[in-house]
Amino acid sequence: MNAEILAVGTELLLGQIVNTNAQFIASELALLGIGVLFQGVVGDNRKRMEEAISIASNRSDILILTGGLGPTDDDLTREVIAQFFNKQLILEPDLLKQLESFFAGRGRQMPPNNRKQAMRIEGAQILANPRGTAPGQYLALPSKHVFLLPGPPSEMRPMFVESVIPILRSLFPNQTIQSRILRIVGIGESAMEEKVRDILDAQTNPTIAPYASEGECSLRITAKADTDARAWELITPVEQQLMERLSRYVYGRDTDTLPRVVGRELTQKGLTLAVAESCTGGLLGEYLTDAPGSSSFFIGGCITYSNEMKQQLLNVSSQTLKAYGAVSEQCATEMAIGLHNRTNADVCVSITGIAGPDGGTAEKPVGLVYICVYFNGQTYARELHLRGDRNQIRIRAAKQALQLLWRVITGTLETQS
Ligand code: ATP
Ligand code: MG
């Protein structure tokens, strides 16, 4: 079976909003092992919606629509689907009561327009929407499965997880799909693939898919089987094989992120962390505070953009700035030490560099960045030559600093290749 996603909304066509619903649904379907062969976007227009639905229902088994379930006149999805499949719209008294109490709970009277949200397509199953007014609908037709989901992601996503996934799973009762993701840093995607090429090529179940994202990559091992236990029996030996080759680069699994892994490590060891950032302007601090619970290790930081702030807050010496400049290993090192002296944090990370697009010279080009980690009376500094635009250089600098931090606190720096 394959699925097609059809996002409804003129705002999408005009580029006023990004179609994140399609991205979310596509990635969830991939996890379920359901192929998506087409995605579409259509405006709030009856005729063009019919056209899009007609094409999609001819070529796809599962049709997932988002948007256009609201109360206003341009919210047409329910009506158009009912008409296209020759179904009546039936007023559901229970839904009407729910809607009225949704409004009552907010101290308001239900506007008459919202009545149409209590209309169920004949033969369809209602998908609850506790976070909004538009319930979803699931219409099972002979060899066709149609889902109508609300547009707002805050309503659509939980509905997808709570209602749609269980239905899709029940369509394949004797099949489960499990996957394990290995999260990898410090090696590029192609170098990683080279190291495990033979393992990748040898597998059909589980399959292994490499992915690259900014500053890191991953391997997803996916097995199909009749039971969860059997799927894991397929995954585990392959995971072990991959780990034998790549363990040095694997920082985590599944939903782990490098900041979270670093945070866990620091918390376990009872260490505190502070950061001093120049060209990244607080980005490293943002990454580190992304996860709840970061206050158990992260105490704060300084954004020292100017030389004066580096001197005043971090005690970087004027000789260093004169002799080597602010973008230098010496400055990065003094920033980390200065931060430790100032805050007494166990671990201190500093970043200084040229993010561009201006400010580069032949000697110090755009993308030259120094990072340093202070820990246990030692400093570990690195010179980076980063590529990309300003934004990419900042992201990459912060991620490299995270990586160095991870290596230092896990004691895995010495053997770094
Ligand atoms: P409502 O009851 O809010 O009108 P609806 O089901 O009719 O819900 P739309 O009117 O199509 O949905 O969209 C409402 C809002 O949901 C949009 O303004 C937009 O913020 C968000 N939205 C809609 N479609 C998408 C999409 N494909 N991706 C991301 N956001 C979306
Ligand atoms: Mg709407």
Q: Tell which one of 66, 78, 80, 137 to mutate to probe ligand 1, the residue whose CB is within 8 A of the most ligand atoms.
A: 66
Residue 415: the pLDDT is 53
Give the helix ranges, DSSP H, for 217-345.
228-246, 258-269, 283-288, 307-314, 318-324, 329-343
Tell whether the model's pLDDT for residue 416 goes beyond 60.
no
Q: In terms of C-beta density within 10 A (0-12 exposed, 13-18 middle, 19 or more buried), how is residue 163 classed?
A: buried
Q: How confident is the prediction for the chain on average, in pLDDT?
A: 94
Which band of pLDDT confidence, cut at 50, 70 and 90, is reported for residue 41? very high
Residue to substitute in 78, 113, 156 for testing ligand 1 pocket (most ligand atoms within 8 angstroms of CB) = 156
Q: Give the distance (Å) from ligand 1 centre to CA of residue 53.
A: 18
The tokens of 251 are what? 């920082």
CA of 21 to the centre of ligand 1 (A): 9
Helix (H) or strand (E) holding 103: helix 93-104
Q: Are 127 and 149 in contact (CB under 8 A)?
A: yes
Length of the chain: 417
Which atom from ligand 1 is nearest to the alpha carbon of 152?
16
Q: State pTM to two decimals.
A: 0.74
Closest Cα partner for 199 from 230, 239, 229, 233? Answer: 239
Q: Is 11 in the pocket of ligand 1 (CB under 6 A)?
A: yes
Question: Do residues 158 and 135 lie in contact, with contact meaning Cβ atoms separated by under 8 Å?
Answer: no
pLDDT tens-digit profile of 308-343? 999 999 999 999 999 999 999 999 999 999 999 999
Tell me: the pLDDT tens digits for 135-145? 999 999 998 99
Nearest ligand 1 atom to alpha carbon 9: 11
Residues paired with 277 in a beta bridge = 303, 351
CA dihedral defined by 138, 140, 146, 148, rounded to 10 degrees?
-10
Q: Is 9 in the pocket of ligand 1 (CB under 6 A)?
A: yes
Q: Say which residues have a Cβ less than 8 Å from residue 40's Cβ, sequence separation at least 6.
A: 4, 5, 6, 7, 52, 55, 56
Mean pLDDT score, 119-133: 94
| DSSP bridge pairs for 220 | 181, 209
Residue with tokens 């944090």: 345
